[in-house]
Structure 1
Amino acid sequence: MKQGRKGQENSDTEETISRIYPYITRVFDVYEIQKSGEIIYFFGTPKIDTENVMGELWTPLEQQGFGGTLKYELGEHVLIISPVKKAKEKHWVNLALFIATVFTTMICGAWMFGVDLWSAPMQIIQGLPFTLAILAVLGSHEMAHYAMARHHGMKTSLPYFIPFPTFIGTMGAVIRYRGPIPDRKALFDVGIAGPLVGLLVSIVVTIIGLSLDAPAIKPLPDSLMFELGLPPLFVMLQKLVGVTGTDLHPVAFAGWVGMFVTLLNLLPAGQLDGGHVLRAMLGKKANWVSSMMPRVLFLIGIYVVYGLRGDGFIWIFWALFLWAFAAAGHPSPLHDKMKLDRKRILIGILTFILGLLCFTLIPFKPIT
């Protein structure tokens, strides 16, 4: 019985090798094959640039249900191939977090309308306009990443919304990528899709919010109030609609949040969206910009604190965060030498300009 099982395993291994071997020999001259469990080791010499080997093999291996890596160990190249086990998606987690985020953002929205939820909890429904606006802004950003990643054949999860007791009721949303990045074109498209779509929705939400009258509210006892710093793009929209001032309807505030989130995401550092876009545009040269970004933010924070006598903590915090975040580097796409076309380069430059239009030295400060 044991011998029969071993024979079946050897037969399965031979069948596996026969299926993937033709793809491997196109880019890798094999001189020895070893097996350990479900993992197959191909020892040999790359026929093409080592940085492009896995780029050529990723698609055919993925179609056959396998993944792989190329390593150089003890003086020889080894191609390590193993089955890819599909992770079972737990969509109920996404749904539960989304429902919780609807609830927490509606609480914050109701507070913005001056509702005392302790005495009138059913008035939480008044926060619904803010909930719809903020989820549209944050959700469109992540769904754009999701759609573009799937378009390029990348494996990714649905968005996970993060309910959190902040002044907007959430820490945003994230998606999880599984597997490698095919090439710089995919890296660029996925990285830039979120900020562009999210900013477009933010602009629409802002225009809608500016057309609504800001509620006249009496601050709740012990509540913390903030004065917003309006970025140039927001001010442009105010002039377009014909309104001024920082007293905003909660829907317009959701648009402001979207612009601020876009700015932070487009910082060209680490694995932020801006880091992805710049890495796709410049290749490994982007690492220098990524390493400089925390220093730039730290200097901005110091200038705000000591030069403007304002609250620059947000920039100092992000500087420290990025020092740790960017230190991990950026994973290389499989086809890392594939350069972007001029159209994508132009879109990237314009997107970074839009990000600058969302910048303000002092985004918010508490009203004392």
Structure 2
Amino acid sequence: MNNLTHKPRNTDELAERISQFFTVYEMQQQGDNVYFYVIPKEALLGVKENNNSGDAPIEPNVVYQKLWAAFAEKGYQFAFKNELGEQILIGTPFKPVKERRWINVVLALATFITTMVMGSFLFGADPISNLSDVLKGIPFTLAIMTVLGAHEAGHYIVAKKHGMNTSLPYFIPFPSIVGTMGAVIRHRGPIPNRKALFDVGIAGPLIGLIVSVIVTVIGLLQPPVANTPDGLQIQLGIPPLFELITRIIPAANTSFMHPVAFAGWVGMLVTALNLIPAGQLDGGHVLRAMIGEKASRVSTLMPVALLFTGGYMILIRNLDGSMWVFWGLLLTVFAASGHPRPLNDDIPLGRGRMVLGIITFFLGLLCVTLVPFQIQ
């Protein structure tokens, strides 16, 4: 190999991680690429034996599973090659995806405006007749964007911790009853292992729910708001967790709820929907990490269960079950594509994460109400 120089600086920590599975006997550099000449250790050879591969060469995917996260944390992607009897790990710096962050900013500002407009209606104002009345919706805007932002921030921070490539949150402005359809972030590249899949999937709902509870408590401590324009009334279905909080907060009123408390209620509904264990929802990620490929069976049955629930509410109970029909149809399409397999799908989560997963799904059930809201 020509034009090789001595090892670059700042690769010692990476070499230390590699040394868990390989003996590194030489490091060199060509341009931006780093070359690690290695010999497998027993820790990696044991993987080969467990896979019943006998004396066959070590498969690149085994190496990739073990070391992808270590290289990603240092800003490298890598390849594993057998060349002239030598085994080489080649680290290549990631080419950063150019983020158009102005889109995130514009969408956040637009969502701030749409939630403020809808929030002003919730406070009994009429911004159509008096434009300045729109400012009355600011408390609701701050509350709902904090709840949604906390959920996505949980995903973002934990994904970065695991060396995953992810975008900043995209808020979605929409002329709904709350002025938004939520927020999303985009993950690019592979999932390193089941622990990363679990941590990223569960962080959003847990952090979002904690903030939702805080916002709910703050809202319930405020004076209730009884008047909305033209007598518009929204009858909310109260989930068990929200009901529990109202029993703790003195003089809490759910008949005429303060808009900030309503933002907390929305956060609980978002948590419940995201924890549905199907497809690419947070609940789908968490269940896939917990039970592996068996999660695909649950993901397949979940849309049927939601459609049955919606049909039961509409046909038998004569109640509005349209939301469950919508989600059932939505998941019928999106759950069919399956779930991406983590690079390292063999390492179990451990008891702590399994218990946390069960607790989180239970908390999600406490946020469910069969008829979330009715407009009267």
* TM class by smaller structure: 0.7 to 0.9
In structure 1, C-alpha distance between the alignment counterparts of 2:126 and 2:173, rounded to whole Å: 21
Aligned pairs (5 A) from 1:184-263: 184-220=194-230, 225-242=233-250, 243-263=252-272
The answer for the alignment partner of 2:105 in structure 1 is 95
Do the aligned partners of residues 22 and 220 (structure 1) sit closer, same or farther apart at CA in structure 2, a change above 3 Å counting? farther
The amino acid of 1:231's aligned partner reads P
The answer for the alignment partner of 1:349 in structure 2 is 358
Aligned pairs (5 A) from 1:233-312: 233-242=241-250, 243-312=252-321
The answer for the alignment partner of 1:47 in structure 2 is 58
Instruction: Report the Cα offset of residue 99 of structure 1.
Output: 1.1
In structure 1, C-alpha distance between the alignment counterparts of 2:143 and 2:179, rounded to whole Å: 13
Instruction: Report the Cα offset of residue 246 of structure 1.
Output: 2.9
Gaps of 5+ in 2: 4-28, 46-55, 82-88
The answer for the alignment partner of 2:49 in structure 1 is none
The amino acid of 2:365's aligned partner reads L
What CA deviation, in whole Å up to 9, does each residue of 1:309-350 have, x standing for no partner? 001110011001001111111111111111011011000000
Instruction: Report the Cα offset of residue 22 of structure 1.
Output: 3.1
Do the aligned partners of residues 24 and 86 (structure 1) sit closer, same or farther apart at CA in structure 2, a change above 3 Å counting? farther
Q: 8 Å contact 1:230–1:360 — kept in the other structure? A: yes
Larger mean CA deviation between 259-268 and 285-294 belongs to 285-294
In structure 1, C-alpha distance between the alignment counterparts of 2:153 and 2:111, rounded to whole Å: 16
The answer for the alignment partner of 2:7 in structure 1 is none
Instruction: Report the Cα offset of residue 216 of structure 1.
Output: 2.8
What CA deviation, in whole Å up to 9, does each residue of 1:76-95 have, x standing for no partner? xxx99987421112222211
- Does residue 65 in structure 1 map to residue 76 in structure 2? yes
In structure 1, C-alpha distance between the alignment counterparts of 2:329 and 2:193, rounded to whole Å: 30
In structure 2, C-alpha distance between the alignment counterparts of 1:101 and 1:313, rounded to whole Å: 25
Instruction: Please report the TM-score for the alignment, with normalisation by the length of structure 1.
Output: 0.82
Larger mean CA deviation between 303-312 and 90-99 belongs to 90-99
Do the aligned partners of residues 154 and 111 (structure 1) sit closer, same or farther apart at CA in structure 2, a change above 3 Å counting? same
Instruction: Report the Cα offset of residue 17 of structure 1.
Output: 12
The amino acid of 2:248's aligned partner reads L
The answer for the alignment partner of 1:319 in structure 2 is 328
Do the aligned partners of residues 298 and 255 (structure 1) sit closer, same or farther apart at CA in structure 2, a change above 3 Å counting? same
In structure 1, C-alpha distance between the alignment counterparts of 2:135 and 2:180, rounded to whole Å: 17
In structure 2, C-alpha distance between the alignment counterparts of 1:188 and 1:293, rounded to whole Å: 19
- Does residue 22 in structure 1 map to residue 37 in structure 2? yes
Pick one of 345, 349, 359 that aligns with 1:336.
345
Gaps of 5+ in 1: 1-6, 9-13, 29-44, 71-78
The answer for the alignment partner of 1:362 in structure 2 is 371
In structure 2, C-alpha distance between the alignment counterparts of 1:342 and 1:186, rounded to whole Å: 15
What CA deviation, in whole Å up to 9, does each residue of 1:201-224 have, x standing for no partner? 000111111111222314338x6x
SS in 2 for 1:227: strand
Do the aligned partners of residues 354 and 60 (structure 1) sit closer, same or farther apart at CA in structure 2, a change above 3 Å counting? closer
The amino acid of 2:296's aligned partner reads N
Q: 8 Å contact 2:125–2:228 — kept in the other structure? A: no
In structure 2, C-alpha distance between the alignment counterparts of 1:233 and 1:195, rounded to whole Å: 14
In structure 1, C-alpha distance between the alignment counterparts of 2:67 and 2:219, rounded to whole Å: 50
Q: 8 Å contact 1:114–1:217 — kept in the other structure? A: yes
In structure 2, C-alpha distance between the alignment counterparts of 1:143 and 1:17, rounded to whole Å: 32
SS in 1 for 2:207: helix
Q: 8 Å contact 1:111–1:127 — kept in the other structure? A: yes
The amino acid of 1:323's aligned partner reads T
In structure 1, C-alpha distance between the alignment counterparts of 2:149 and 2:32, rounded to whole Å: 43
In structure 2, C-alpha distance between the alignment counterparts of 1:295 and 1:360, rounded to whole Å: 18
Instruction: Report the Cα offset of residue 176 of structure 1.
Output: 1.1
SS in 1 for 2:183: strand
The amino acid of 1:95's aligned partner reads V
In structure 2, C-alpha distance between the alignment counterparts of 1:109 and 1:176, rounded to whole Å: 28
Do the aligned partners of residues 47 and 260 (structure 1) sit closer, same or farther apart at CA in structure 2, a change above 3 Å counting? same
Instruction: Please report the TM-score for the alignment, with normalisation by the length of structure 2.
Output: 0.81
Do the aligned partners of residues 91 and 24 (structure 1) sit closer, same or farther apart at CA in structure 2, a change above 3 Å counting? farther
SS in 1 for 2:265: helix
In structure 2, C-alpha distance between the alignment counterparts of 1:147 and 1:60, rounded to whole Å: 17
Q: 8 Å contact 2:236–2:374 — kept in the other structure? A: yes
In structure 1, C-alpha distance between the alignment counterparts of 2:320 and 2:39, rounded to whole Å: 57
Instruction: Report the Cα offset of residue 114 of structure 1.
Output: 1.6
- Does residue 134 in structure 1 map to residue 153 in structure 2? no
Percent identity (aligned): 51
SS in 2 for 1:110: helix
The answer for the alignment partner of 1:38 in structure 2 is none
Do the aligned partners of residues 98 and 17 (structure 1) sit closer, same or farther apart at CA in structure 2, a change above 3 Å counting? closer
- Does residue 177 in structure 1 map to residue 187 in structure 2? yes
The amino acid of 1:150's aligned partner reads K
